[in-house]
Amino acid sequence: ENKPDKMRTNSLPRMATGAITMMMMIIIMTVPSEACSCMPQHPQSAYCEADYVIVAQVLRKSQSTGTHDAYKIAIKKEYKMSDAAREELRHGKLYTPSVDSACGRPLEPNKLYAIAANTNQIGLCNFVQPYAELSLAEKRGLAGMYRKGCDCRVVPCFGPKCVFKPGACNWSPFTKKGDCETMFGSCVPAGRAQQNGVPTKCHWRRSPRFSECLANGK
């Protein structure tokens, strides 16, 4: 007479376990995917670290591989190009992840972009900016002015006090001062270099527009 009770008692844990498992699966399925995350990069760093720096016009979005979108481009200006990069770009195509969470960088047909990267695969962590939106100083920098400062490093600083580092310029990307350093600044050597060629000191080159930006806070 007690057998049905035993069966009912033994079945309750299995039912509870099944419900808990189902709830865990729902929670896992509804957790949002991680967003793309990139460290800020000054245009000079992008130039100096890139295998190629170009101004390219997007002709069309040509195809999708399922994970990446492809864009047909025409290179209008070539400021820097290694042999490996020339091989990468020989077909005139750039690829970017199809989803934002994988750092995809959609491009607009017929628009000109300034691009500094190392391969034909680009994303949000690369320097890919509409050319028309760059300041004159940024355009000149990408055209070769930044090359003079490639022995220096531009070091992001996120606190109220930045630690001085030899051969580097501190850069505060999320401040008004940092905006001026981005749009109008270039980090150049000052003084003698060490035996290994690294400058002992670097500083922000004070152009009139840079000084004006700092004075006006914009």
Tokens of 103: 């750092």
Per the annotation, does 36 bind a ligand? yes
Q: What share of the chain has pLDDT > 90, as a percent? A: 62
**pTM exceeds 0.75, yes or no:** yes
Domain spans, the chain: 37-134, 151-217
Quick: pLDDT tens for 3-48. 444 333 343 344 333 433 333 333 333 334 467 888 999 999 999 9
Question: Exposed (0-12), middle (13-18) or buried (19+): which is 74, by Cβ within 10 Å?
Answer: exposed
Hey, which of 15-24, 145-154, 191-200 has the most confident mean pLDDT? Answer: 145-154
As assigned by CATH, the class of the 37-134 domain is mainly beta
Mean pLDDT confidence for 54-75: 92
**pLDDT tens, residue by residue, 157-169:** 988 888 888 889 9
Tokens standing for residue 166: 């030899």
Amino acid 218: pLDDT: 57
**178: part of which helix (H) or strand (E)?**
helix 176-184
Burial class (CB within 10 angstroms; exposed 0-12, middle 13-18, buried 19+) of 54: buried
* pLDDT at 198 (0 to 100): 75
Answer whether residue 67 shows pLDDT above 50. Answer: yes
User: Predicted confidence band at 172 (pLDDT cuts at 50, 70, 90)?
Assistant: very high
CA distances from 182 to 62, 139, 155 (A): 33, 12, 12
Averaged pLDDT, 67-86: 96
Task: Count how many Cα atoms sit within 13 Å of the Cα of residue 27 in the half-sphere of its side chain.
Answer: 6
